[in-house]
Amino acid sequence: TQNVLREKAGLSDGEKSEPVFYVNSDPSVLNDILGNKYKVIEKDF
């Protein structure tokens, strides 16, 4: 449990993952806001 908490809090020495954003509308809008720096996936919630 402590390892999971460290990973979630960003204190782990483990591999850093890339943020992914999920939207239920046109992903190009959020891509524009984020400057195309992150992965944005359209998903039907």
Q: What is the number of structural domains in the chain?
A: 1
In order of 13, 34, 43, the CA distances from 21 in angstroms are 23, 10, 10
In contact, 12 and 6? CB cutoff 8 Å: yes
Range of the domain at 23: 16-45
**What pTM did the predictor assign?**
0.59
Q: What is the pLDDT along the chain (45 residues), one digit of tens a residue?
A: 677 776 666 665 666 778 999 999 999 999 999 999 999 999 998
Q: Is residue 5 part of a domain?
A: no
2 part of a folded domain: no
Cα–Cα distance for residue pair 23/9, rounded to 1 Å: 24
In a domain, 8, yes or no: no
Residue 1: both structure tokens together: 């449990």
